């Protein structure tokens, strides 16, 4: 069964010390960890970081954490290094859970993993959620994804995609959620690739995979996963926990 890795770094341009901010009395990283542990498809959850403060916080609530190199260029690199430290086999499935989603539904990880059961040759999957709040369609903070009829990603963007040139309103838009699953072998391959142009422009590391011509299966889930990027996001999530 899959191993879940939560990459966490202390620095954030919009919310400093984000993994340790309190969400209704618990550090955010603890809430993400606990949600992962509730999943029926995860055998082990581990936090990957290069900051001792995060390691201490994780150890304090009884979680597992590993120190990774401070030269990792992205969360994906941190996840790959952790899988290597753990001695994962090439065929093992590694789940990457972004550490700013403290109230995600553990059942969404079942949706993430299901494509691997349907296609034994699959190398990577991710999640999408059908947008219900029209403000998210144009908000660059919410990444949109379009996928083909076979369920494979065509593009991810902070822009509105597809763009309704003639003002169509009967278009379904999908928000990308910060979850990935890969085989260990493919994860090792991703981190050897140079950053792509679109990845650098959009600041979306999953675009590296598409730019090099590799497929990403997109699984649509019924569970949204609010992210914490700004102080007001904390207030909104805490209100939902009351």
Q: What is the pLDDT of residues 134-177, one digit of tens each?
A: 999 999 999 999 999 999 999 999 999 999 999 988 999 999 99
CA distance 3 to 153: 24
Structure tokens at 111: 């949706």
Residue given tokens 């011509």 in the structure block: 213
51 closest CA partner among 82, 87, 84, 7? 7
Q: Residue 240 to residues 30, 72, 220: CA-CA distances in angstroms? A: 17, 34, 23
Instruction: Report the pLDDT value the prediction gives residue 109, as an integer from 0 to 100.
Output: 98
Q: What is the pLDDT of residue 34?
A: 98
Q: What is the pLDDT of residue 13?
A: 63
Pull the structure tokens for residue 62: 């009884």
* pLDDT value of residue 71: 82
Whether the CB-CB separation of 162 and 171 falls below 8 Å is answered with yes
Question: Which tokens is 164 given?
Answer: 């309704």
CATH 3.90.550.10 fits 3-223, yes or no: yes
**For the chain, which ranges sit under pLDDT 50?**
none
pLDDT (0 to 100) of residue 73: 82
First to last CA, the chain: 33
- For the whole model, what pTM was predicted? 0.95
- By the 10 Å C-beta count (0-12 exposed, 13-18 middle, 19+ buried), 124 is classed as buried
CA 135/CA 128 separation, integer angstroms: 17
């Amino acid at each position: 069964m899959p191993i879940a890795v939560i990459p966490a770094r202390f620095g954030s341009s919009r919310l400093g010390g984000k993994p340790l901010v309190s969400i209704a009395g618990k550090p955010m990283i603890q809430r993400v960890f606990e949600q992962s542990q509730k999943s029926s498809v995860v055998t082990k959850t581990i936090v990957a970081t290069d900051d001792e403060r995060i390691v201490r916080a994780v150890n304090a609530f009884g979680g597992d954490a590993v120190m990774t190199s401070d030269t990792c260029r992205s969360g994906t690199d941190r996840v790959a290094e952790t899988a290597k430290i753990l001695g994962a086999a090439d065929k093992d499935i590694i789940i990457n859970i972004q550490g700013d989603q403290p109230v995600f539904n553990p059942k969404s990880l079942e949706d993430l993993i299901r494509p691997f059961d349907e296609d034994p040759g699959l190398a990577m999957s991710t999640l999408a959620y059908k947008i219900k709040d029209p403000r998210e369609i144009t908000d660059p903070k919410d990444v949109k994804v379009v996928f083909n009829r076979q369920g494979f990603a065509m593009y991810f963007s902070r822009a509105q995609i597809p763009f309704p040139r003639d003002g169509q309103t009967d278009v379904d838009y999908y928000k990308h959620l910060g979850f990935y699953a890969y085989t260990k072998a493919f994860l090792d391959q991703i981190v050897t690739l140079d950053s792509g142009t679109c990845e650098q422009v959009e600041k979306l590391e999953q675009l590296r995979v598409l730019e090099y011509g590799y497929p990403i299966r997109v699984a649509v889930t019924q569970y949204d996963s609010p992210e914490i990027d700004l102080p007001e996001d904390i207030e909104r999530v805490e209100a939902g926990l009351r």
